[in-house]
Amino acid sequence: MPMLKRFSLMAAPAGLFMAIFFIIPCGVLFAYSFGHTSYADISFGTSPANYLRVISAPLFREVILRSLEVGSSVGLASVILAFPLAYAITLGPLKRAGTFIMLLVIVSLFTAYIVRIYAWRTLLGRNGAISQLLTASGVTGAPLEAFSYSKAAVIVTLTSILVPVAVLPLTSALSGVSSQSIEAARSLGASAFEAFVRITIPLASRGIISAFALTFVIAAGDFITPQLLGGPRAQLAGNAIVDRFGLSFDWPLGSALAFTLVVTLGLFLWVLTALLRRLGVKDRP
């Protein structure tokens, strides 16, 4: 069988599935974003009015900016927290326990998102365990309202959920760093710290960037955690989108908001990697 025919035959099932259930639906959503809604009727159209509304309304600008802020905080925190673990089980002293540690990380990765958010709510919520402990021990007089439903609660919860996501690319990048190149730097007179900063980090930079990008996109696009733990002042763009698809039934506006969010997230990551590249960090070693 000729190469091309075999390729098309083998790529067809998944290719067709992606065309029908991914590309076309995204196209439908994109078409909606230029349409409008009246009562229960949603119609396609060609008007950019929804995008103008997204850009001009302070509410939408605010939630998109907050999504960027929460996304980058969570991305940064996840990478910083996950890095020492990934380092310990690849180049560091916990290599032999690595399989067991990774097994725990994978269990946590596959534990239901909704269960983990629920678990954090039992800890941080108004009558949650932490608030109760603090009240009972006399540290605070009243239940901790300020932290339970806040941006900080959303960031802590999402970070805890996404650390395992960051561990995977970091581990695979660090296991590609040969200990010989680190030893070479050491024998040429570099201190352990210098070798780490000038050899290990640059060689792992691709893993660091993909760990940040993955956790950033998931956190910035989330709507469940802010809904359940955020309170009214920590709602993200995802919540505004879900509202348009639920309560206020304005799918065209919701679609425009969704595409604006995705494009903003993409631009943010693009600018970030461009800046890092200018600083001399390469995204591929």
Q: Please, which of residues 38-77 interact with another protein by CB under 8 A?
A: none
Stretch that binds another protein, among 179-187, 197-205, 257-265, 271-279 (CB under 8 A): 257-265
Nearest to 112 by CA among 71, 74, 161: 161
- CB of residue 280 to another protein, shortest distance in Å: 25
- CB of residue 181 to another protein, shortest distance in Å: 20
Whichever of 171 and 205 has its CB closer to another protein, that residue is: 171
Judged by CB under 8 A, does residue 15 bind another protein?
A: yes
Judged by CB under 8 A, does residue 2 bind another protein?
A: no
Tokens 């007089």 found at: 141
> What SS3 class is residue 41?
strand
- CB of residue 183 to another protein, shortest distance in Å: 15
Distance, CA of 33 to CA of 127 (rounded, Å)? 41
Report CA-CA distances (Å) from 13 to 10, 24, 28, 166. 7, 16, 22, 31
Footprint on residues 113-172 left by another protein (CB under 8 A) = 113-116, 118-123, 127-129, 132-133, 136, 160, 163-164, 171
The neighbouring-strand residues paired with 41 are 38
Stretch that binds another protein, among 51-59, 109-117, 142-150, 275-283 (CB under 8 A): 109-117
The whole-angstrom distance between residue 19's C-alpha and the CA centroid of its chain comes to: 25
Judged by CB under 8 A, does residue 92 bind another protein?
A: yes
Amino acid at position 268, single letter: F
Whichever of 32 and 149 has its CB closer to another protein, that residue is: 32
Cβ contact 63:239 at 8 Å: yes
Contact with another protein (CB under 8 A) among 144, 153, 211, 220: 220
Contact with another protein (CB under 8 A) among 11, 55, 197, 275: 11
Tally Cβ neighbours within 10 Å of residue 210: 18
- CB of residue 184 to another protein, shortest distance in Å: 20
Please, is 257 exposed, middle or buried when counting C-beta atoms within 10 Å of its C-beta (0-12, 13-18, 19+)? buried
For residue 43, the surrounding DSSP H or E stretch is strand 41-43
> What SS3 class is residue 246?
coil
- CB of residue 41 to another protein, shortest distance in Å: 12
Contact with another protein (CB under 8 A) among 49, 152, 224, 281: 224
